[in-house]
């Protein structure tokens, strides 16, 4: 930080970029070291894009001292949607942590959309029919990211795209990370760098995150292919060389069975992502009810997070597991094994299928699954 900082006495400083919690905390520490404890510092990452920023309807996750929040609340309220200002308990760093665990959901589901559509293409399904079937499946395979990204896959609207691999969320994310990692050229920053916040923080806490780690490797593969400046929906090209708008050369012999495989994949991955995100949130002492409320109405939302996530939240808060919402773990393993077998037959990569199946099998072997998919959260040791 510039030691010649010229903020006036009693100023309020907002950090609205997506950064590691440790970075936000280091800013607060530097202010103290510079004898500028008069400055009220608020860790306040945002979500919603340029349109919602202009409209003052952003989602904001703010962590700070009570005094700083009191001073800055009026501006936070002006910038955010009335129902999307989340005051995160725990002080500076927890706002960034809340954004980070949300990115587990978003990152997994961005890649899941591409993996599902690549799989569907290889199976000989019509892409428009797959999109329609999943979007209508609001109790099972639907996610916000699938509904948002797949239309761009169908149009091949990748250049420069709405959310480029290098600048997903905010351009400034890459800039701030470039300041802290100067040896990494700015043009090489990517969506994977955003995921690297998650993986680096997970390593810091010695916490397992197998799904987002697998997603990170896929994003790095896309970056290596030169797709950094393309829309993140272009990751579908990792799974199939055929444009989704092109009718499959060999239509599926049994379209209903093939569609079931695609939906089973999405349902399983979204449920596992819910467990991973909520487990890490619990580890970081984030309010689980608050995170659940935020994610359900944000880009990380999915049918499985809504149903499976509610049960996981109850379990992590000391309640008992119910069977009202989530599927049988054995059934989920059977369905996902069928997906993995078919992918192996097709000789196609399916990063999230492999990672999710291993999590499910570990849950059954350790009996942490307790018979239900929601029980896989026990694999994370929380």
With beta carbons less than 8 A apart as the criterion, state whether 360 and 319 touch.
no
C-alpha distances out from residue 14 to 27, 76, 197, 292, 345, Å: 11, 9, 20, 25, 52
E strands, 68-212, where? 80-87
* Residue 16, helix vs strand vs coil: coil
With beta carbons less than 8 A apart as the criterion, state whether 93 and 214 touch.
no
CATH tag for 12-92 (out of 3.40.50.720, 3.40.1160.10, 3.40.50.300, 1.10.10.10):
3.40.50.720
Per-residue pLDDT of the chain (382 residues; tens, 9 = 90+): 554 557 899 999 999 988 899 999 999 999 999 999 999 999 999 987 777 888 999 999 999 999 999 999 999 999 999 899 999 999 999 999 999 999 999 999 999 999 999 999 999 999 999 999 999 999 999 999 999 999 999 999 898 777 877 654 332 233 333 333 333 333 333 444 444 788 888 999 999 999 999 998 998 899 899 998 899 999 999 999 899 999 988 999 999 999 999 999 999 999 999 999 999 999 999 999 999 999 999 999 999 999 999 999 999 998 766 555 678 999 999 999 999 999 999 999 999 999 999 999 999 999 876 789 999 999 999 8
Domain ranges of the chain: 12-92, 99-380
Question: Given this model, what pLDDT does residue 192 score?
Answer: 43
CA gap 232, 36 in Å, rounded = 41
Matching CATH topology for 12-92 and 99-380? no
- Please give the radius of gyration of the chain, using alpha carbons only, rounded to the nearest integer: 21
CA gap 115, 258 in Å, rounded = 14
Question: Given this model, what pLDDT does residue 256 score?
Answer: 98
Strand duo 80-87 + 58-62: pairing = parallel
Q: Tokens representing 74? A: 């009026």
**Helical pair 191-204 and 171-180, crossing angle rounded to 10 deg:** 50
pTM of the model: 0.89
Nearest to 231 by CA among 122, 129, 154: 154
Neighbours of 220 (CB within 10 A): 16
CA 290 remoteness from chain centre: 16
- Tell the CATH topology of 99-380: 1.10.1040
């Amino acid at each position: 930080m510039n030691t010649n900082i010229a903020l006036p006495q009693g100023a309020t400083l907002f950090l609205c970029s997506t950064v590691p919690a440790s970075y936000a905390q280091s800013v607060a520490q530097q202010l103290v070291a510079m004898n500028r404890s008069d400055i009220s510092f608020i860790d306040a990452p945002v979500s919603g894009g340029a349109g919602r920023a202009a409209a003052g309807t952003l989602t904001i996750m703010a962590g700070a001292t009570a005094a700083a929040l009191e001073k800055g609340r009026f501006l936070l309220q002006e910038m955010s949607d009335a129902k999307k200002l989340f005051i995160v308990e725990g002080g500076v760093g927890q706002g960034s942590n809340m954004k980070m665990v949300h990115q587990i959901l978003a990152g997994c589901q961005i890649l899941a959309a591409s993996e599902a559509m690549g799989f569907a293409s290889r199976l000989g399904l019509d892409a428009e029919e797959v999109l329609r079937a999943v979007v209508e499946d609001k109790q099972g395979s639907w996610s916000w990211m699938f509904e948002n990204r797949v239309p761009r896959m169908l149009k091949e609207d990748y250049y420069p795209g709405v959310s480029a691999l290098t600048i997903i969320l905010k351009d400034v994310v890459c800039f701030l990370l470039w300041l802290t990692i100067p040896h990494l050229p700015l043009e090489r920053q990517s969506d994977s760098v955003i995921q690297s916040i998650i993986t680096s923080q997970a390593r810091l806490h010695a916490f397992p995150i197998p799904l987002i780690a697998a997603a990170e490797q896929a994003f790095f593969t896309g970056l290596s292919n030169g797709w950094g400046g393309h829309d993140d929906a272009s990751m579908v090209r990792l799974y199939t060389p055929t444009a989704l708008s092109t009718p499959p050369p060999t239509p599926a012999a049994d379209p209903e069975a093939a569609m079931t495989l695609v939906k089973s994949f999405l349902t399983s991955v979204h449920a596992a992502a819910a467990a991973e995100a909520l487990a890490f949130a619990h580890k970081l002492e984030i309010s689980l009810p608050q995170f659940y409320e935020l994610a359900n109405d944000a880009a990380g939302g999915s049918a499985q997070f809504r149903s499976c996530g509610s049960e996981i939240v109850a379990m992590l808060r000391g309640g008992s597991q119910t069977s009202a919402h989530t599927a049988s773990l054995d059934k989920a393993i059977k369905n996902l094994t069928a997906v993995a077998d078919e992918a192996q037959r097709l000789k196609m990569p399916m990063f999230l299928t492999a990672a999710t199946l291993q999590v499910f099998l570990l849950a059954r072997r350790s009996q942490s699954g307790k018979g239900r998919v929601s029980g896989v959260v026990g694999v994370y040791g929380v």
